[in-house]
Structure 1
Amino acid sequence: MKTEPTLILSEEDIKIKIKRIALQILETCLEDESIVIAGIEKNGATLATLISEEIKKISDQTIVPVRVKLDKKNPLQSIEVSLESSAYENKSLILIDDVLNTGSTLMFAAKHFLEVPLKQFKTAVLVDRNHKNYPIKADFKGISLSTSLNERVEVNFESPARAELV
């Protein structure tokens, strides 16, 4: 028996969470001239863009956008990054994805960035499901959600934006 998705975040809720995450990032990177915002494709990159736009509204700090592409089903394959590593070396870097489930996607993307000396490294997610199999946490999160392993969280940034438990 298939059940209807349960709305966990409305479009307005998501906007509020994004603004709060942006403020937390700014607070953490207050002394930095620029902040590297790395979004994991596809939804993580969309969330990273929305957070970057929010930061730009309230700060003069330069935002350096980075797109991270990896095969989520086989994260040991090569990771593609839209920026040379020298561009984020010794800078504060925030790695962003939409949902933190087991932690594998965030962990393998983090491994790539941690091979370069950084000023600081933080992670941000919209939804933290608390099912981590890897030793990684979200430094900034919109919502923590306890779910069963059978459930899925889907984030849709199309209008109206929403996050649902499926």
Structure 2
Amino acid sequence: MQDTSTVILDKKQIAHKIKRIAYQIYESNVDETQVVIAGIMDNGFLLAKKIKTEVEKISPIKVMLCEVVIDKKNPTNEIKTSLKKEDYSNKSLLLVDDVLHSGTTLIYGVKHFLEVPLKQFKTAVLVDRNHKKYPIKADFKGISLSTSLNENVAVIFEKNNDRAVLE
């Protein structure tokens, strides 16, 4: 079967986008000593780890990582996180996913974290598809892409071959 996908971001471009997002996070948290970066499993968490590395390279901010498990087929199911609510309460929090498709996963993730008071709450994605069903936006994004509804965007994190493709 022939691969008909188009690479929209290659490894170098993804690294550049992540670095830019890290600087934006630093700028919006310049007075903070610690931020929580919560990544939606699977790819959102992989992206969150990469962002954490960059933020800690360029700033004195300590980053606490949080895994977020959301049932993407049924997001009203219980959302699980690797941190307890008191670990991120009254902190600056960034919720990360790889692609913002319809907004369903991100908005349910936002809802979960709003159950406790936060100093600041931002969202970040590598690719924003501009086909949202919910009133949600990415505060930090690598690229905005207008696609048709039948096209799919996939982010693939592989050793030495990170890429985002349009299928």
CA deviation digits over 1:77-120, x for unaligned, max 9? 11000001101111100000000010000000110001110001
Matched, 1:130 2:130: yes
2:133 is paired with a residue whose SS is coil
Looking at structure 2, the residues matched to 110 and 39 of structure 1 have their Cα atoms a distance apart, in angstroms, of 12
Looking at structure 2, the residues matched to 130 and 3 of structure 1 have their Cα atoms a distance apart, in angstroms, of 25
Matched, 1:163 2:160: no
Looking at structure 2, the residues matched to 61 and 70 of structure 1 have their Cα atoms a distance apart, in angstroms, of 27
Unaligned runs of 5+ in 2: none
Aligned equivalent of 1:58: 58
State the AA in 2 paired with 1:45.
Answer: F
- Give the Å deviation of 1:3: 6.4
| Structure 1 segments of 4+ aligned residues over 4 angstroms from their partners | none
- Give the Å deviation of 1:34: 0.3
TM-score normalized with structure 2 length: 0.97
CA deviation digits over 1:8-50, x for unaligned, max 9? 0000000000000000000001001101000000000000000
Unaligned runs of 5+ in 1: none
Looking at structure 1, the residues matched to 86 and 26 of structure 2 have their Cα atoms a distance apart, in angstroms, of 22
Q: How does 1:101-120 map to 2 (within 5 A)?
A: 101-120=101-120
CA deviation digits over 1:131-164, x for unaligned, max 9? 0111110000000000001000010010310000
Looking at structure 2, the residues matched to 55 and 138 of structure 1 have their Cα atoms a distance apart, in angstroms, of 18
Looking at structure 1, the residues matched to 154 and 61 of structure 2 have their Cα atoms a distance apart, in angstroms, of 32
State the AA in 2 paired with 1:92.
Answer: S
Looking at structure 1, the residues matched to 7 and 62 of structure 2 have their Cα atoms a distance apart, in angstroms, of 35
Q: State the percentage of identical aligned residues.
A: 58
TM-score normalized with structure 1 length: 0.98
CA RMSD for the aligned pairs? 1.2
State the AA in 2 paired with 1:40.
Answer: I
Matched, 1:87 2:118: no
